[in-house]
Amino acid sequence: MIPRTLFSQIKGRLNSQKSIILIGPRQVGKTTLIKEVLKDKPFLWLNADDPTVRKALSNPNTEQLKTIFGTSDFVFIDEAQRIENSGITLKLIVDELEDIQLVVSGSSAFELGNSLNEPLTGRKWEYLLLPISWNEFQEHVGFIKAEQQLESRILYGMYPDILNSSGDEVELLKQLSDSYLYKDILAFGGIRKPELLEKLVRALAFQIGDEVSYNELSQLIGIDKNTVQNYIQLLEQAYVIFRLPSFSRNLRNEIKTNQKIYFYDTGIRNAVIGNFNLLDDRQDKGQLWENFLIAERIKQIHYNHPLAKAYFWRTTSQQEIDYIEEEAGEIKAVEFKWSAKKNPKIPRKFKETYQPEFTLINRENFREFLKPDF
């Protein structure tokens, strides 16, 4: 397996008297990671995809839980969102079975998030696992091999199964996108017309790097604006997309309410539009490069800088900056270009107002942007 950044963080939380919750998209390696963390421990693995496990853990009492767990000191409940009233069950384990270290994974932010937040307040450490990061990949395969595969990673993405299946990427991404994109959303989102959701995802895939208008999407797809907004929220909760809001503080003509939408994984994005052409043959090379870099930076924020906030910046006079990151009062401004020959300058008004640290990221120096300490 490719070593994950979260391994040491989760390992360090064992025996902390709190449950450990690992959430994230399907197929990113949550089960593999937890088993690796617990491999030197005598742990009990309960997979809630199994109907017998679901039934046993739905509304049990303390004595029933003691019987299920036996002498196990470490209990790993996988796909916990499948368990009815999972939050109450997990709270009971943490409160009444203090000698047990509970570790939980789940793919659905809908059910798992809603059922755990209140019952486990103050009783959990929660982590988000995303597809393999560039740093994890490069550390595993080495600098040269990673460099050779950069274009493939932009085209096919960073899901573990994709990385381990050279030659079968397109077929696997098709299968992954068909099931992963819609399974949880359709199950828990109450969506009656999945074909409209598919149209929305495709429209968003063509608009990466552009500001998104709910009104325009509404007219394009043929649904009302509120439904568009609800579907986008569901796609976020399924870790298909994430929103980048606009940055504004002091300038009168700054765009204040618009947002851009990117995909967590560019392979999934390319599968949605059915385009795996090489970068030199694509009109969307710049947008794809931007999506790849911002998604990779978002991984670093989740893993290493939980207080950092990511934005883009634009004014009504069309001055813009691709990416803004703010942490502890410090502002970093970043422009993305594939070619090192292009050298844009930071807008004067932004520089005067915010005194940011400005960086141009291109094909030659992109690793700098993806370092945890950028």
Evaluate if residue 81 carries a pLDDT over 90: no
The burial class, CB within 10 Å (0-12 / 13-18 / 19+), for 225 is middle
Q: pLDDT value at position 110?
A: 59
* DSSP-H helix ranges across 24-168: 30-37, 51-57, 62-69, 86-96, 111-116, 134-141, 143-148, 150-156, 160-163
Sequential DSSP letters for 3-14? --THHHHHHTTT
CA distance 181 to 269: 10
Alpha-carbon radius of gyration of the chain = 22
Q: CA 108 to CA 112: how far, in whole Å?
A: 6
**Residue 98 exposed, middle or buried by CB count within 10 Å (0-12, 13-18, 19+):** exposed
Residue 185 pLDDT: 75
Q: If 0-12 CB within 10 Å is exposed, 13-18 middle and 19+ buried, where does residue 75 land? A: buried
Contact predicate 116/124, CB 8 Å: yes
Percent of the chain with pLDDT over 70: 95
Mean pLDDT across 322-342: 93
Task: Reply yes or no on whether the pLDDT at 370 is more than 80.
Answer: yes
pLDDT band at residue 118 under the 50/70/90 scheme: low
pLDDT for the residue numbered 317: 87
- CB-based contacts of 134, cutoff 8 Å, min separation 6: 146, 153, 158, 296, 367, 370
Q: Which residue has the tokens 């963390």?
A: 37
Find the angle CA(250)-CA(254)-CA(257) to the nearest 5 degrees: 110
- pTM comes to 0.94
pLDDT at 339 over 80: yes
pLDDT tens, residue by residue, 41-77: 999 999 999 999 999 999 999 999 999 999 999 999 9
pLDDT higher than 90, residue 183: no
Nearest to 25 by CA among 142, 139, 105: 105
pLDDT higher than threshold 80 for residue 136: yes
> Residue holding tokens 């209140």?
118
Q: What is the pLDDT of residues 291-302, one digit of tens each?
A: 999 999 999 999
- Structural domains of the chain in order of their starting residue, each with its CATH number: 6-128 (3.40.50.300), 134-209+241-370 (no CATH)
Residue 342 pLDDT grade (very low, low, confident, very high; cuts 50, 70, 90): confident
The secondary structure of residue 249, as a DSSP letter, is S
Residues ≥6 apart with Cβ < 8 Å to 17: 98
